[in-house]
């Protein structure tokens, strides 16, 4: 019997499977908004959900968007399709409550957010791949149970002589990394992710964003459904956490930001 099982295990076949994705025609509002302590025109983007893979999101136009801090009301106007920009510059302040109100197609959507302090910059852990190239591992900075943060890293090596004639897509990259206050088994045993390789001399413009507990909860649930999905310890699929009311999805947040620029040595 054992020999028979071994013999059968060497036989393989291919079978075509047609997946029949059932499309729910319902579309939900998706909100992507983050205000920061940077004195700038703040931005909020609005799109609609889509049901099938590889569909393009529909931009939401003609919505009324405003943010209030209890003392001031900041109105937002559509700049480009689905992207709303504050009419004046303003900056988020630590521990002040910011309320978002969106009116679209006779429905009202609301959310609240507050910014928490950001700790000083961690040392970024980039790794040498070979004699000339480097990359960021998954753990871009040391874990800390005292903070949750998002890193936005803009890498630029277009000014280096050996790369000056290459297109921008091969000489610049934007990367996002997250530090959460808990370690998740899905994070440790997640599927391999694509690495971005950059040469010595690359300029790294780094922004570190503080994450409130609610914002951290959103990021964690998003990672569980995206980057951490497909590993050996997958959790049951679920909707990503949101703080937007009335059946909408996405997140409205507020962050304190630290910026820094340095060169890969």
Mean pLDDT of 42-49: 96
Mean pLDDT of 37-60: 88
User: Quick one: pLDDT at residue 230?
Assistant: 54
What is the tens place of the pLDDT at every residue in 166-217? Answer: 999 999 999 998 888 876 655 555 666 788 999 999 999 999 999 999 999 9
Distance between CA 123 and CA 24 in Å, rounded? Answer: 46
How would CATH label the architecture of 29-114? Sandwich (2.60)
Mean pLDDT of 29-37: 97
Which of the four pLDDT bands, split at 50, 70 and 90, describes residue 2?
Answer: very low
Which of the four pLDDT bands, split at 50, 70 and 90, describes residue 4?
Answer: very low
Least Cα distance to 248 among 56, 67, 76, 110 occurs for 110
Q: Look at residue 160 and tell me whether its pLDDT is greater than 70.
A: yes
Pairing of strands 64-68, 97-104: antiparallel
What is the tens place of the pLDDT at every residue in 121-150? Answer: 777 889 999 999 999 987 777 767 888 999
What ranges do the domains of the chain cover? 29-114, 127-238+257-263
User: Quick one: pLDDT at residue 191?
Assistant: 62
User: Quick one: pLDDT at residue 154?
Assistant: 97
């Amino acid at each position: 019997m054992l020999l028979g099982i071994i013999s059968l295990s060497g036989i393989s076949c291919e079978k075509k499977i047609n997946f029949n994705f059932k499309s729910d025609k319902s579309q939900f509002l998706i909100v992507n908004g983050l205000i920061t302590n940077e004195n700038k025109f703040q931005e909020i983007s609005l799109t609609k959900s889509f049901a099938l893979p590889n569909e393009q999101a529909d931009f939401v136009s003609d919505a009324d968007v405003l943010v209030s801090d209890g003392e001031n009301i900041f109105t937002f106007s559509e700049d480009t399709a689905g992207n709303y920009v504050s009419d004046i510059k303003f900056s988020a302040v630590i521990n002040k409550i910011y309320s978002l109100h969106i009116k679209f197609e006779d429905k009202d959507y609301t959310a609240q957010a507050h910014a928490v302090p950001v700790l000083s910059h961690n040392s970024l852990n980039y790794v040498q791949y070979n004699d000339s190239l480097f990359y960021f591992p998954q753990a871009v900075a040391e874990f800390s149970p005292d903070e949750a943060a998002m890193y936005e890293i803009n890498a630029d090596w277009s000014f280096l002589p050996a790369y000056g004639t290459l297109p921008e897509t091969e000489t610049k990259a934007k990367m996002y990394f997250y530090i959460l206050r808990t370690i998740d088994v899905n994070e440790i045993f997640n599927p391999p992710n694509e690495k971005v390789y950059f040469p010595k001399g690359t300029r790294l413009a780094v922004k570190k964003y503080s994450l409130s507990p609610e914002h951290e909860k959103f990021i964690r649930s998003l990672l569980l459904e995206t980057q951490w999905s497909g590993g050996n310890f997958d959790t049951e699929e679920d909707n990503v956490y949101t703080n937007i009311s009335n059946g909408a999805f996405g997140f409205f947040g507020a962050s304190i930001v630290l910026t820094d620029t340095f060169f890969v040595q």
